[in-house]
Structure 1
Amino acid sequence: MEQPPEFVAQGESGKVCKLKRSLYGLKQSPCAWFGRFSNAVVEFGMQRSAYDHTVFYKHTNYGCVLLIVYVDDIVITGSDASGIEALKSFLGSEFHTKDLGVLKYFLGIEVARSKKGIFLSQRKYVLDMLGDTGLLGSKPCDTPMDQGVKLLAGKGEPFEDPERYRRLVGKLNYLTITRPDIAFPVSVVSQFMSAPTQTHWEAAVRIVKYLKGAPGKGILYADHGYIRVEAFSDVDWAGSPGDRKSMTGYCVFVGGNLVSWKSKKQNVVSRSSAESEYRAMAHVASEIVWISTEVWVDSEETLFNVSMSATTYATSN
């Protein structure tokens, strides 16, 4: 621990903070913990990704090793089995660690393996959401959004509990990690967080009812025998009825597996459908460049092997 920048006591710049309570609970604890952990991992020989500071990687003669950290939960994967074991031993010598085995559950995401590949879902997360909203006994909807409803800001009776609306939409946003089929309706209801109306709440509830029809739906990652980056984009020109802005949607595949998707309103009003299409192409092109420069796309033969051998790791400090 050290004194915060720009708040150093006069004449006491060489002194450090003395802990009078446990590390957890202090505002500086996440930064201090991650700083110590990252320094230790870099000392082992890992490199920090320039695109995500929570991702570390190392290339060896036998493949590569990847490490992802979230607070004190760690996922280690790679195509170099001996390198993974060496990293586990190193972490065990530096921290109080516990090997939880093959990855099954991480941050609300359930991981299942079969001969077909790896399947990611958030079934428990969906069921908990249905319970929180009192919709466990409701009738499922066939579609996540009614095409005949145009949502506008300030139109309709204000919703009595805006905070409840924000909580629900926030949960739906996190659910889009494994449910690209709700990306568009969630992006629409996210536009009315400041002052939701009863109509907006009903639209969000409809998404939850749609999820009830198949709470275990998710994404399957399989070996398709090739590694190629592909992307598809589309746009709904002037699709927003309130400000006439266009809605961009795109998805990116690596080796036939969906790895990135988004549905978002464009920042400016396009004067033609061609202009809006070019803006959508620019968005997806930048996403392709980002994915193509990521560390795990550098080696064409290791991408699937890396994804198939993920394990969970947990630490305590």
Structure 2
Amino acid sequence: MTLVLDKLLPGQRIGASAWYDLASSVLGEADLTNFGKEPTLFRHNDPDNKSTMILHADDGLLAANKKEREEILKVFAKKFTVQVGDPMAAEGDKFSFLKRVYLRVPEGIVMYSNGRYLEALLEALGPNVKRRDSAADASFQEPDDSPQLEPSKAATFRECVGRLLYLSHSRPDIQFAVCVLSSKMAKPTSTSFRWLLRVVGYLAGAPDLGFLIKPVVTDAKFGYEGACYDATGDLKNYIVESITDADWAGCRRRSR
């Protein structure tokens, strides 16, 4: 006799892909299809229906009006238990998604990091953290010949840098410093631990800086094929620039 467990147990690698296939099929029943270059982004097949969704595992972020939202949720509710938060409809409204907080302001939407990550960093590093006015200084680009950390302290370093890597997605002001710290993960040193204390000290002094998300121009909307349209509906081309404080060309440790 052969017994088959018709259930995916936690930790199975196939679980994520199997869930995505199932969720995609349900979204298909709601007449939503995903974007080939970004499979987790879905839009409605009806051009007059502006519903769009970002799907991350079993968390989704839906943009739709009330009627469109109810139609999509009705399809989901046939197979799943669905929990829905309050919509962001007016200035001052906010919601949480993937452990980040999004707040609507007159200029657009501000994204804030989850404060628990900073709390965990401060708890792990204890009273050694002193507040700083910047995330990095000139020493971050200097050669590091200091001794390696003992194993327990090295483990603390790696744990803290892991949290900083997550925070850096919504905190461009620490990205260069975190890049330097992550390069020391294999062999953390006493100097790199001092750098870690500086970055966390800076975050302790500026914990609530947000990242403003806004359109290039008022009422701008982006076509699904990568085209970009201005407020009048005319096709336009925009140059997308990404700005960070990383300065690898000026790094004295890696200059070639």
- 1:108-187 mapped onto 2 (5 Å cutoff): 108-135=99-126, 138-152=129-143, 155-160=145-150, 161-187=153-179
Letter in 2 for 1:87: I
The alignment-based identity, stated in percent, is 24
C-alpha contact 2:41 2:54 (8 A) present in aligned 1: yes
Alignment-derived partner of residue 45 in structure 1: 31
Encode CA deviations 1:166-215: one digit per residue, 9 max, x unaligned: 22111111111211111111111111111110101111221111011111
Alignment-derived partner of residue 82 in structure 2: 97
Distance, in Å, in 1 between the alignment partners of 2:253 and 2:129 is 31
C-alpha contact 1:144 1:207 (8 A) present in aligned 2: yes
Corresponding residue SS for 2:52: strand
Corresponding residue SS for 1:186: helix
Corresponding residue SS for 1:40: helix
- C-alpha RMSD of the superposition: 2.8
Corresponding residue SS for 1:47: strand
Corresponding residue SS for 2:8: coil
- 1:299-310 mapped onto 2 (5 Å cutoff): none
Alignment-derived partner of residue 84 in structure 1: 69
Q: Structure 2: give runs of 5+ residues left out of the alignment.
A: 88-93, 221-237
Alignment-derived partner of residue 48 in structure 2: 62
Distance, in Å, in 2 between the alignment partners of 1:26 and 1:178 is 28
Corresponding residue SS for 2:253: coil
C-alpha contact 1:130 1:136 (8 A) present in aligned 2: no
C-alpha contact 1:130 1:212 (8 A) present in aligned 2: no
1:29 matched to 2:20? The reply is no
Alignment-derived partner of residue 242 in structure 1: 253
**Inter-CA distance 124–238: structure 2 relative to 1 (3 Å threshold):** closer
1 or 2 for the larger relative contact order (CA 8 Å, sep ≥6)? 1
Encode CA deviations 1:255-287: one digit per residue, 9 max, x unaligned: xxxxxxxxxxxxxx5xxxxxxxxxxxxxxxxxx
Alignment-derived partner of residue 218 in structure 2: 225
Which of 189, 198, 207 matches 1:206? 198
**Inter-CA distance 151–133: structure 2 relative to 1 (3 Å threshold):** farther
Q: Post-superposition shift, 1:94? A: 2.5
**Inter-CA distance 94–241: structure 2 relative to 1 (3 Å threshold):** same
Letter in 1 for 2:241: A
Corresponding residue SS for 2:241: strand
Distance, in Å, in 1 between the alignment partners of 2:131 and 2:54 is 36
Distance, in Å, in 2 between the alignment partners of 1:73 and 1:123 is 16
Letter in 2 for 1:90: V
Distance, in Å, in 2 between the alignment partners of 1:89 and 1:144 is 47
Q: Post-superposition shift, 1:237? A: 6.6
Letter in 1 for 2:162: G
Distance, in Å, in 2 between the alignment partners of 1:193 and 1:138 is 20
C-alpha contact 2:54 2:61 (8 A) present in aligned 1: yes
Structure showing the higher strand proportion among its residues: 1
Q: Post-superposition shift, 1:222? A: 4.1
Corresponding residue SS for 1:178: coil
Letter in 1 for 2:124: T
Alignment-derived partner of residue 287 in structure 1: none
Q: Post-superposition shift, 1:240? A: 2.9
